[in-house]
Structure 1
Amino acid sequence: MSKKILLEKASIPGIKTYEVYRQNGGYASVEKALKSMTPDEVVEEVKASGLRGRGGAGFPTGLKWSFIDKKSGKPRHLVCNADESEPGTFKDRFLMEYIPHLLIEGMITSSYALEANLSYIYIRGEYMWVYKILERAIKEAYAAGWLGKNILGTGYNLDLYVHCGGGAYICGEETALIESLEGKRGNPRIKPPFPAVSGLWSNPTVVNNVESIAAVPWIVNNTGAEYAKIGIGRSTGTKLISASGHIKNPGVYEIELGLSVDEFMNSDEYLGGMIDERPLKAFVPGGSSVPVLPANLIYKTANGEDRLMTYESLSDGGFATGSMLGSGGFIVYNDTACIVRNTWNFSRFYHHESCGQCSPCREGTGWLEKVLHRIENGHGREEDIDLLWSIQSKIEGNTICPLGDAAAWPVAAAIRHFRDEFEYHVRFPEKIKNRDHFVNEPFEKVRHLVGKQTV
C-alpha cells in the first residue's frame, strides 16, 4: 500500500466538518508554524521537502515561495489556483469536496510562511457546489479562531476569501487568473514582471495549486526531510492521479511518486487493468495538454527501463518517446479508440478556450480544429497531415502563455506516433463515415492496411 498524505483521512465519516477534522489532528500545522516557527523556517521546510507544483508545471514550491518580494514593503498575497479545467483532471475537486479544511489549513500555514494577510481561493465557476462547501468551511474556521485577527494570540492576521471564476480554461494560467481576480478579462500577462514581484493589484503574489497547498500541513507537521524520503529522486512525496478511460477502476488515487506505470495500470490496488480485457493502445499521463504515448512506450522508456510515475521518467527522451506527468490526468485508450477523433476533440477544446490574445494560438488552434474535423469526417487530403504538423510547429513556443503549447503538443504526438491512423482516415473515407471504424477494424488491422510511418 502506498503512503497516504492527502487522502489519509478521506474515509473518516464527517471529515468535511470542522469538528471531525479538528478531532483528527486538523490545524496542527497552523499551531506549530505560528507558535514555534518563523515564516522563513516554514519556507525552508517546504524547500527541503522537494515538493513540486502539482498543477502541471512541477516547479519546486519552496523555491517559488523564496522568490516573493519581501523588501518592497507592499502587502503580499497567496492565491490558490482551484480553477481545475484540464480535461481528464478532477483530483482538486475531490480534495475540496471531501476534505475542505485540509486546503484551508494549508492556506493559513502557507500564507503565514509568505507573511501574507489577505489570501484567495480562485475556484472555477462550474464547481459551484464545491464553492459552497469551501464557504461553509471557511466560516467554521473563522468561528474557531483560525482566521481573522490575532490568530492563536500570535499577532498574525489573515483573511481568506473564495472567488468564483467564469469558467475559462485560460484562467488556470496564473497571470490570467490574477487578471480575472482583479475583475478584468482573463488574459495572460507578459512576463516579466513575475507575480512574485508584481501580481495581484501589483503586489507580490504567489499562486499555487490546490494539491500543492494541501501538502503543506503534512510537511510542517512531519518536516520536509521526512517528506523528501517519500518518492524517488527529484520526484518526492505523493501525487494525486485522476484516472479515466478504458480501465476497470477509474477514480482519484494517491500514489507515491516512483510507482511503476505497469503496477499502477494493472494491479487491483489501482486501475485493475483494461476493461473488457481489450488491448491497450495508448495513454495520456498528465491531462489533455500532454503528448499521447503508444502502447510500446507506456511501460518501458525508449532505453528499455521501467516507466515510472515520476516527472523524470514520464518525460524521458523528450516528446519523441516521452510525455509529462502534468496535472495527473491519466487517460487510457484501448484498441477501439480513434486517435484522430480524440485529437480533434482536444483541438476543439483549445480553440474554444484560446483567449485570442496571440495570433499563433488564436488562428492556429482554429486551423488545427478545422483540418482535424475534415480528416475525421472522411474529407481529408494527403497533404493535410503535413499541414497539421506545420501548424502545430508554428504555435509551440510562440505565445504569451502555455495554452498554445498545450494545443500543439497533442497534435504533434498523435502524428508522430499514429501517422498511419491519420493516413487510414484519408485513404479509406468510406470506412470513416460510418463512425465505428475502430470497433469493426481494431488498430492492428489499420496498421496492416496502411503501413507504419512516422514523422
Structure 2
Amino acid sequence: MGMKILLEHANVPGIKTYEVYRQNGGYRSVEKAIKSMTPDEVVEQVKASGLRGRGGAGFPTGLKWSFIDKKSGKPRHLVCNADESEPGTFKDRYLMEYIPHLLIEGMITSSYALGCNLSYIYIRGEYMWVFRILEKAIKEAYAAGWLGKNILGSGYDLDLHVHCGAGAYICGEETALIESLEGKRGNPRIKPPFPAVSGLWSNPTVVNNVESISAVPWIVNNTGEEYAKIGIGRSTGTKLISASGHIKNPGVYEIELGLSVDEFMNSDQYLGGMMDDRPLKALVPGGSSVPILPANLIFKNAEGGDRLMSYESLSEGGFQSGSMLGSGGFIVYNDTTCIVRNTWNFSRFYHHESCGQCSPCREGTGWMEKVLHRIETGYGREEDIELLWDIQRKIEGNTICPLGDAAAWPVAAAIRHFREEFEYHVRFPEKIKNRDHFVAEPFEKVRHLVAKQEI
C-alpha cells in the first residue's frame, strides 16, 4: 500500500504509551535536532522536503517557518491547529488518538527549529477524549525529560499545553484560533499583520496543522531530500486521506502523493470500489469546502489525462473542471445521491458556523441555505438557480477569511456540473414533495426529463 511515514507504527500494540513509542524509535528527531543541528538547519531540512501544509491550503511549511520574525526579540510561539472541523475530514483525530507521541515529538522538534519556548495544541471542543489522551502523553513527555527546562542538557526550554476550544469551525482559521486561544471571541483578524510577525499575544507565531507537524520527525531523521523523493513534483511526501461515503472500505489512509485517483478508488488495497457496486455519481476530494467533481471528471481531467492524488492534478482545469486536494476529506457519492440536498446540507453548516463579522458571509450563507432548502423541498422557482449563482459570486473573495469561499465553492460547483438536477427540482415539484426525502433518479434520466420537459 505504498510507503508509510505517519502510520508506520499505527498498529503496534500500546503505541500510544511513551514506553512503546520510545522503543519504536520515538523522539529520535528531538535528540538529533538538539544535539547535532542548529534551529536554522532544521528549518532548511523542512524547506528542502517540500512539505506543504496538510490542513487544506497546501502552503510550503518550511517557507512559512522562514517568515517568523526573529529580529524583534519577542517570544515566539508554535501553535498546532487541531481544530479539525471540516465535514468529511477525520485524519488528524486518528493521529492524535492512536499515535499521540508522534505529534508531541513533532511539536518539540518544530518548536526548537522556530526558537519557541512556549507552544500550544489547540484542539476542537468535540474531541474531549482525544484532549485527555494528549494531556496524558504530554505528562509522560515531561516525566521523561523531553519537555520542561534544559531538555537533554542543551539549555533549551519548552513548555507545551493543550487548549480545548468550544467547537467552532471558524477557529480552524489561524487568526480566529489565536483570538480564541487568547480568551476572546473566535473572529478572524484582518491581515496584515500576519501571525509570523504579530500572532499570539502580539508575538511572532507559526500555526501548523497536526499532520504537517507530525511529518517533521521523519524529515529530520531521514533528511528533507529523502522526503522530497516521495510523491510527485511539488506534491512531495505522503498524505493522510479521510475516505467516506458510498465506498466499500471507508477509513483513514496514508498514500504517496501521485497515486492515481482510479487506483485509490477501486483497488482492494484502498477503497475497494463502490458500495453495492452502484454507479459513481460524484466526488468531493478535499472536504466539504472544495468543488464537487462529476463522474466524468474524477478519473480523467478535461484534457483526458489521468487524475492523480496530488495538489496540482486535482486542481487541473481550475474550478471549471477541477477541484482541490484540500484537507483530504474524500467523500464519494453513488447514483442515489441528491446533489441539491447534499449542497443544502453543506450550506446549512457554513451558515451555522459563520462568525458573522463580514456582511457577504453573514447574509449570503443564510440566503443560500434558505434558497437551497426551498428548491430541495419542492418550492423552488426558476430564478432561484440564478439567484444562488449570484449570491455565491458575491461572497467569494469578499470576506476577511476563507470561510466565505468555502461556503461559495460547493454551491458554484454543484450548479456548474449538476444544473439539470436543480432544474429537475424546480420543474417537477410534485415528484419532490411526494417523497419524505428526495433520492435522485439516475442522472442521465434527470437530464432527459429536464431537456424534454417530461414526467
User: TM-score per shorter chain, which class?
Assistant: over 0.9
How many correspondences in the alignment? Answer: 455
Cα contact 1:168–1:353 (8 A) shared by 2: yes
Partner of 1:203: 203
SS of residue matched to 1:58 = coil
User: C-alpha separation between the residues in 2 aligned to 1:434 and 1:36?
Assistant: 71
User: C-alpha separation between the residues in 2 aligned to 1:332 and 1:111?
Assistant: 38
Cα contact 1:417–1:454 (8 A) shared by 2: no
**1:380 Cα shift?**
0.1
**1:232 Cα shift?**
0.2
Cα contact 1:431–1:437 (8 A) shared by 2: no
Cα contact 1:420–1:453 (8 A) shared by 2: no
Partner of 2:427: 427
| Residues 454 and 42 of structure 1, relative CA distance in 2, 3 Å threshold | farther
User: C-alpha separation between the residues in 1 aligned to 2:331 and 2:454?
Assistant: 23
User: C-alpha separation between the residues in 2 aligned to 1:398 and 1:433?
Assistant: 36
| Residues 347 and 35 of structure 1, relative CA distance in 2, 3 Å threshold | same
Cα contact 2:81–2:123 (8 A) shared by 1: yes
**1:337 Cα shift?**
0.1
**1:361 Cα shift?**
0.1
**1:439 Cα shift?**
4.2
User: C-alpha separation between the residues in 2 aligned to 1:59 and 1:376?
Assistant: 37
**1:444 Cα shift?**
2.1
**1:440 Cα shift?**
7.0
The sequence identity of aligned pairs, in percent, is: 90
**1:443 Cα shift?**
2.0
SS of residue matched to 1:125 = coil
Partner of 1:40: 40
User: C-alpha separation between the residues in 1 aligned to 2:80 and 2:74?
Assistant: 20
User: C-alpha separation between the residues in 1 aligned to 2:114 and 2:257?
Assistant: 27
| Residues 68 and 440 of structure 1, relative CA distance in 2, 3 Å threshold | closer
User: C-alpha separation between the residues in 1 aligned to 2:171 and 2:133?
Assistant: 21
User: C-alpha separation between the residues in 2 aligned to 1:24 and 1:123?
Assistant: 26
Cα contact 1:283–1:332 (8 A) shared by 2: yes
Cα contact 1:335–1:438 (8 A) shared by 2: no
Cα contact 1:416–1:454 (8 A) shared by 2: no
| Residues 365 and 149 of structure 1, relative CA distance in 2, 3 Å threshold | same
User: C-alpha separation between the residues in 2 aligned to 1:92 and 1:415?
Assistant: 31
User: C-alpha separation between the residues in 2 aligned to 1:430 and 1:70?
Assistant: 65
| Residues 306 and 59 of structure 1, relative CA distance in 2, 3 Å threshold | same
Partner of 2:193: 193
Partner of 1:3: 3
User: C-alpha separation between the residues in 2 aligned to 1:369 and 1:142?
Assistant: 48
**1:448 Cα shift?**
1.3
| Residues 45 and 336 of structure 1, relative CA distance in 2, 3 Å threshold | same
Cα contact 2:338–2:440 (8 A) shared by 1: no
Cα contact 1:423–1:450 (8 A) shared by 2: yes
**1:442 Cα shift?**
2.2
User: C-alpha separation between the residues in 2 aligned to 1:173 and 1:54?
Assistant: 13
**1:451 Cα shift?**
3.0
Cα contact 1:419–1:453 (8 A) shared by 2: no
Q: Deviations over 1:420-446 (max 9, x none)?
A: 000000011111123467647222211
User: C-alpha separation between the residues in 2 aligned to 1:408 and 1:63?
Assistant: 29
Partner of 1:121: 121
Cα contact 1:247–1:271 (8 A) shared by 2: yes
User: C-alpha separation between the residues in 1 aligned to 2:235 and 2:440?
Assistant: 42
SS of residue matched to 2:190 = coil
User: C-alpha separation between the residues in 2 aligned to 1:422 and 1:76?
Assistant: 51
User: C-alpha separation between the residues in 1 aligned to 2:432 and 2:161?
Assistant: 51
SS of residue matched to 1:436 = coil
Partner of 1:169: 169
Q: Deviations over 1:240-277 (max 9, x none)?
A: 00000000000000000000000000000000000011
| Residues 257 and 452 of structure 1, relative CA distance in 2, 3 Å threshold | farther
SS of residue matched to 1:411 = helix
| Residues 440 and 288 of structure 1, relative CA distance in 2, 3 Å threshold | closer
TM-score by length of 2: 0.99
User: C-alpha separation between the residues in 2 aligned to 1:167 and 1:439?
Assistant: 32
| Residues 348 and 437 of structure 1, relative CA distance in 2, 3 Å threshold | closer
Cα contact 2:238–2:256 (8 A) shared by 1: yes
Cα contact 1:418–1:454 (8 A) shared by 2: no
SS of residue matched to 1:269 = coil
Cα contact 2:33–2:42 (8 A) shared by 1: yes
**1:28 Cα shift?**
0.1
Structure 1: gaps spanning 5 or more residues: none
User: C-alpha separation between the residues in 2 aligned to 1:438 and 1:42?
Assistant: 54
| Residues 69 and 440 of structure 1, relative CA distance in 2, 3 Å threshold | closer
**1:453 Cα shift?**
13
| Residues 150 and 417 of structure 1, relative CA distance in 2, 3 Å threshold | same
Structure 2: gaps spanning 5 or more residues: none
| Residues 338 and 439 of structure 1, relative CA distance in 2, 3 Å threshold | closer
CA RMSD of aligned residues (A): 1.8
SS of residue matched to 2:157 = strand
**1:306 Cα shift?**
0.1
User: C-alpha separation between the residues in 1 aligned to 2:453 and 2:228?
Assistant: 43
Partner of 1:448: 448
Cα contact 1:419–1:454 (8 A) shared by 2: no
Q: Deviations over 1:118-171 (max 9, x none)?
A: 000000000000000000000000000000000000000000000000100000
| Residues 38 and 298 of structure 1, relative CA distance in 2, 3 Å threshold | same
User: C-alpha separation between the residues in 2 aligned to 1:329 and 1:151?
Assistant: 37
| Residues 54 and 440 of structure 1, relative CA distance in 2, 3 Å threshold | closer
User: C-alpha separation between the residues in 2 aligned to 1:148 and 1:370?
Assistant: 52
| Residues 283 and 435 of structure 1, relative CA distance in 2, 3 Å threshold | farther
SS of residue matched to 1:160 = strand
User: C-alpha separation between the residues in 2 aligned to 1:291 and 1:368?
Assistant: 16
Cα contact 1:246–1:274 (8 A) shared by 2: yes
Q: Deviations over 1:36-62 (max 9, x none)?
A: 000000000000000000000000000
User: C-alpha separation between the residues in 2 aligned to 1:344 and 1:389?
Assistant: 14
User: C-alpha separation between the residues in 2 aligned to 1:434 and 1:203?
Assistant: 59
User: C-alpha separation between the residues in 2 aligned to 1:413 and 1:301?
Assistant: 15
SS of residue matched to 1:440 = coil
Cα contact 2:50–2:235 (8 A) shared by 1: yes
Partner of 2:404: 404
Cα contact 2:335–2:440 (8 A) shared by 1: no
User: C-alpha separation between the residues in 1 aligned to 2:13 and 2:300?
Assistant: 40
| Residues 33 and 425 of structure 1, relative CA distance in 2, 3 Å threshold | same
User: C-alpha separation between the residues in 2 aligned to 1:377 and 1:198?
Assistant: 47
| Residues 437 and 271 of structure 1, relative CA distance in 2, 3 Å threshold | same
User: C-alpha separation between the residues in 1 aligned to 2:286 and 2:440?
Assistant: 29
| Residues 140 and 424 of structure 1, relative CA distance in 2, 3 Å threshold | same
Cα contact 1:415–1:454 (8 A) shared by 2: no
**1:452 Cα shift?**
10
Q: Deviations over 1:290-348 (max 9, x none)?
A: 00000000000111100000000000010000000000000000000000000000000
